[in-house]
Structure 1
Amino acid sequence: MKALLILGAVTGACFILLLDTSIISTAIPRITNQFHSLPDIGWYGSAYLLANCALQPMTGKIYSKFSAKWVFMLFLGIFELGSLLCGVATSSKMLIVGRAVAGMGGSGITNGALTIIALCAPMEKRPVYIGIMMGISQLGIMIGPLIGGAVTQYATWRWCFYINLPAGAIVAGFLFFIHIPRPKHQVPITLGIRNLFDGLDFIGFLLFAPAAIMFLLALEWGGNAYRWNSATVIGLFCGAAGAFAIFLSWEYRIGDTAMIPFSMMKKKITFSSCITMFFLAANLITTSYYMAIYFQAVRGVSPLLAGVYILPSILSQMFVAITAGILVGRLGYYLPWVIGGTALTAIGSGLMSTFTPTSSTGIWIGFQIISGFGRGSGLQMPVLAMQNSVKPAEVPVAMSLIIFFQNIGASLFLSFAQTTFSSGLVHALPIFAPDVNVQAVINAGASGFRNVVTQALLPGVLHAYSQAISHVFYLTTGAVLVAFIACWGMGWKSIKKPKVMQPEA
């Protein structure tokens, strides 16, 4: 019963975290109308992402030094504070600050949940628990637009943020009364506070944060606010590379006390798991984002209905994630599941690139299910491989590392996908709709172009949109094929402990 309460609490926290990342998309038009802040749209997502990724690797060191329970509740509290600031925001700038605070809090929630599961469950049971956690929490990505659309339409956009408050309070309430074991290597909390700076690698953090921020800003601004070959974007990439090189030098110098220990990254299992998670996350988030655009732009449905149409993917993914967790716990081996999962995801993503404006319901449901089965089978396996290959004291750092690769992979490929989609659309419009005003269609956006083209030109524009989205699915197929290659290095290892032979009498 205690294990189920802990699992329910950490799953709930991860659910509202992922819900928060997608629910804001439907609220942005109302927010920009109220604050007259159209130029700030990019910052509503970027502020969260910058704060989240900059702090992510440090959270592993914090979890390894202090009680996982109280650190988790601290990060959850910061996330809730950010949500409250967003909900009561009186200006666009206040909303951006709230998003940054929420990003800081969110940086320690997913890896904290995985760390708590590792502390409370033996290795044999973790596949089931992690499968349930990842499967259910990822529902938040899909139902975010549904909930956001409903509360924005019938109440106020502020409830997109207020909704996190009671949910977070329930999670914190459960955790407050539950004992979560502390690893033997952790010192009492009073001694930990007294020696706060020992072993946290603050210098590494101060070197890493600007590198991450410059890199993510370059991705955010490139092709949007500035051209990719502009001095600003190139300067940000160069600055990020320089800062990251200095960061790596420092990490190498201080050895095992580093924020990202080289001894851990040099392990083949660690490296392969991180790369596999990087490209699987890239496939998941990019596919989810552009499936919604396909249904809204090409099929002409509402954001609410688009969220419903994506459910075959996420429900199949959730079902297989839980099933695979149960079977890995019984059989012991995770490698066949990630190999099969990445292969199946590649097949599903490739098939999804064949979507057209007239694809039948059976096709778009069936291809989503294939892709969902693959991701459900593979996504949790890099986490299990990492936990199985490191010492218990290293689990928090390992989890922060793999979640960082997950977030960076998603961010990087969303940027690549945006460039691929935009260039594909600009190329396809003159071919399929030669008489259309290309700039007018692009400026109108995915949900507004129908208002600026005639009925005679609309079929051609829909074909152009469909082809541009197909190019994005080529990209996601390529990403998961790299994951398929990388995952072979995760090792043919069993998570089961070898049985000890009893001496004969």
Structure 2
Amino acid sequence: MNAAKSKSVTVRVAEKRERGEPKSKYNEPSKGPAPGELADRLGDSHVNILPRKQLVVVLLSISMGMFIAFADQTAVTVGLDEIGRELNSQSTINWAGTSSLLANTVCQVLFGRLSDIVGRKNVFIGSLVVLGIADLACGFAQTGPQFYVFRAFAGIGQGGISSLAMVIMSDVVTLKQRGKYQGILGTSVGIGNSVGPFIMAAFISDNKHWRYFYHVFAPIIIMIAVAIYFLLPGKPKSSCEVLTPLEKLKKIDYLGIITATSALTLILIPLSGGGSTYPWDSPIVISMFIVGGVLLFSFLIIEWKVPELPMIPLRLFLNPSLCLILGSNFFFGMVYYSFLFYIPYYFQIVRGKDEVISSVFLLPIVLTQAGMSTVSGNIISYTGHYIYTVLFGYTFWTLGCGLLLVWDEHTNYGTCVVILLIIGIGIGSTFQPTMVAAQAQAKKADRAVVISTRNVLRSFGGAVGIAIASTMISNSLLKEIGTIESDPSTYSDIPQSYLDELKENIFSKIDVSYLNADQASEIRHIYMSSIQNYFYLLVPFIAVCLISSFFIRDRGLQCLDETPEDQIHKEALSVRTSRTDFSTDVESNNDHEGARGEPREVHQV
């Protein structure tokens, strides 16, 4: 009896800790807690381990948000040609992707800590509303710059949705079960990535009405936001407020936000336009890089010295394994996002396929990613280890990127599909497992800032990757066209007027209908050469991720500040919530305890 009673008391203490209840009440006057203590209290106040039925509702809610965000993000990839032509912005239409990822990256910096301060649900729903309004505005854009600005706001919404979905899931399930449930979220990402391009392609194929995509998507997003408002629970009722509303406003790291957003913007803009819009040695490009670099250094100093609640706590990078995981996510983003943008480009430009068929060739990647996200998540939850899944994934991904080098303008479509399947396996085995690994290398209260930091680096890598790919493809193509112009007789006497048109519309679908067979073959070849130069970059970038994974210490599925005993307590709470949900007999037998406001005992784990 004494042993059972002792275990029951221990579990009740763990339960209070999981709900965010402190040893003393939070609503007592503050005596000036240390910064680390305040960050821990804010993070812990959101913990709310849910029973299974309620967990399913939460999972469905945030999966809807993830699906719509990633569908919106990838849909634009197959519409670039038509959008650029209608807005008379063919030479700059790559900014539709770069601006979205730039804004996504910049605002990812604040989502994690902001959700600690003002609440997960508020930030999540706010991000959905921003995305809905931005999509509506995209449908009414009249110029290229207008469209890029609206896509930037859409990127802000997408970033908030993807970050907060992961953070919310980390609040409501234990780390041991997190791989399984976040694998399901990864499936919604894969499905969104696959469905989005098809929806856009369907609208474009039907009388070229790409605007209707945004007119239809905007109200759907707002309806999802309303549904999530009612379905998604807020902070646990038993959790006391750590800060008053005024204190919350004062704790926001405004200086860090300003320096980070300014630095990232000034670095990414010249990176995207250098060599095409402006020469690399032009004063504007050089000055932007210098000022951006100074601001980035200033941001690091500010985060180290100034705020009580920094957007990105630099202490995270003192852990070698966590530093490797976060750093490799930068290269992950470089390959992943640029890949989603330029695989359809290959099939449209080099192979001459329409938007619908180009979207079909994304399916081997995104559907395999969706399936492997679920499989890898369950493997991690079952084995209690993540490193083998990550190594397996990066190995396949590196192999797939290496095989891309065999692609040319005549590669068999079956070969293309097999290579894309290999890459999809690699992506699905690393997309969510790396996040579980990152959380296992940090404290429980840091889970939100760890997720946001990971997403910042991944999105920043994506913006850099798309910018590098765009610059490399455009510069390489301009060089090839210059070679043709210098000796037209060697290249089947391609008309100069046609070459001038290509230089003005680098990222638009080419029309070879009025060229002869030899001329058309030459044009497709120079485009293929430009894309292949980009493929060469993918291999070393993803190889960095693979090599760094060998140096990551697999600590199992417990956070840094958890002991094995803490993990047992969390499993006990999970058992208790499941029993509360499904065992009405047990519930009725313990009604007298519930009436006193005491938690029921769990006598075995």
* TM-score, length of structure 2 as denominator length: 0.76
- Per-residue CA deviations over 1:382-434 (Å, capped at 9, x if unaligned) read 21112222223211111111111111111111222223333444566659947
Question: Of 492, 498, 501, which residue of structure 1 is paired with 2:554?
Answer: 492
Structure 1: gaps of 5 or more residues: none
Name the CA distance, whole Å, in 1 between partners of 2:326 and 2:552.
10
> Contact 1:60/1:399 (CA < 8 Å) preserved in 2?
yes
1:255-266 equivalences under 5 Å are 257-266=309-318
1:50-449 equivalences under 5 Å are 50-89=102-141, 95-154=147-206, 156-178=209-231, 180=233, 182=235, 188=241, 191-254=243-306, 257-426=309-478, 430=483, 433=491, 435-436=493-494, 440-445=501-506, 447-449=509-511
84-93 vs 364-373, which deviates more? 84-93
Amino acid at match of 1:408: F
Name the CA distance, whole Å, in 2 between partners of 1:83 and 1:89.
10
16-25 vs 344-353, which deviates more? 16-25
Amino acid at match of 2:360: V
- Residues 439 and 275 from structure 1, CA distance in 2 versus in 1: closer, same or farther, beyond 3 angstroms? farther
Amino acid at match of 1:360: N
- Per-residue CA deviations over 1:217-266 (Å, capped at 9, x if unaligned) read 11222123111221111111111001111111111113762211111122
Instruction: Say how many residue pairs are matched.
Output: 503
Structure 2: gaps of 5 or more residues: 1-52, 485-489, 573-605
What's the CA shift for 1:331?
Answer: 0.4
Name the CA distance, whole Å, in 1 between partners of 2:333 and 2:240.
35
Name the CA distance, whole Å, in 1 between partners of 2:262 and 2:287.
13
Name the CA distance, whole Å, in 1 between partners of 2:395 and 2:174.
29
> Contact 1:12/1:167 (CA < 8 Å) preserved in 2?
no
- Residues 192 and 58 from structure 1, CA distance in 2 versus in 1: closer, same or farther, beyond 3 angstroms? farther
CA RMSD, 1 decimal: 3.0
1:8 aligns with 2:60: yes
SS at match of 1:456: helix
Name the CA distance, whole Å, in 2 between partners of 1:459 and 1:387.
51
Amino acid at match of 1:154: D
Q: 2:531 — aligned with what?
A: 469
SS at match of 2:408: coil
60-69 vs 386-395, which deviates more? 386-395
Name the CA distance, whole Å, in 1 between partners of 2:238 and 2:465.
38
- Residues 424 and 92 from structure 1, CA distance in 2 versus in 1: closer, same or farther, beyond 3 angstroms? closer
What's the CA shift for 1:138?
Answer: 3.1
What's the CA shift for 1:370?
Answer: 1.1
- Per-residue CA deviations over 1:440-475 (Å, capped at 9, x if unaligned) read 544454521525643222223333333332221221
Name the CA distance, whole Å, in 1 between partners of 2:181 and 2:163.
14
Name the CA distance, whole Å, in 1 between partners of 2:109 and 2:181.
23
- Per-residue CA deviations over 1:42-86 (Å, capped at 9, x if unaligned) read 554454344332222111111111221122111211221222233
- Residues 440 and 39 from structure 1, CA distance in 2 versus in 1: closer, same or farther, beyond 3 angstroms? closer
Q: 2:31 — aligned with what?
A: none
- Residues 452 and 246 from structure 1, CA distance in 2 versus in 1: closer, same or farther, beyond 3 angstroms? farther
309-318 vs 324-333, which deviates more? 309-318
Identity of aligned residues (%): 24
> Greater CA radius of gyration, 1 or 2?
2
> Contact 1:286/1:410 (CA < 8 Å) preserved in 2?
yes
Name the CA distance, whole Å, in 2 between partners of 1:40 and 1:425.
15
Name the CA distance, whole Å, in 2 between partners of 1:398 and 1:192.
25
> Contact 1:66/1:186 (CA < 8 Å) preserved in 2?
no
Name the CA distance, whole Å, in 1 between partners of 2:284 and 2:392.
43
- Residues 454 and 396 from structure 1, CA distance in 2 versus in 1: closer, same or farther, beyond 3 angstroms? same
Name the CA distance, whole Å, in 1 between partners of 2:555 and 2:178.
15
Name the CA distance, whole Å, in 2 between partners of 1:331 and 1:181.
32
> Contact 1:256/1:263 (CA < 8 Å) preserved in 2?
no
Amino acid at match of 1:165: A
- Residues 28 and 447 from structure 1, CA distance in 2 versus in 1: closer, same or farther, beyond 3 angstroms? closer
Structure showing greater relative contact order (alpha-carbon pairs closer than 8 Å, 6 or more residues apart): 2
What's the CA shift for 1:133?
Answer: 1.2
What's the CA shift for 1:179?
Answer: 5.0
SS at match of 2:276: coil
> Contact 1:26/1:152 (CA < 8 Å) preserved in 2?
no
* TM-score, length of structure 1 as denominator length: 0.90
> Contact 2:77/2:344 (CA < 8 Å) preserved in 1?
no
What's the CA shift for 1:2?
Answer: 2.3
- Residues 61 and 389 from structure 1, CA distance in 2 versus in 1: closer, same or farther, beyond 3 angstroms? same
- Residues 27 and 311 from structure 1, CA distance in 2 versus in 1: closer, same or farther, beyond 3 angstroms? closer
> Contact 1:255/1:263 (CA < 8 Å) preserved in 2?
no
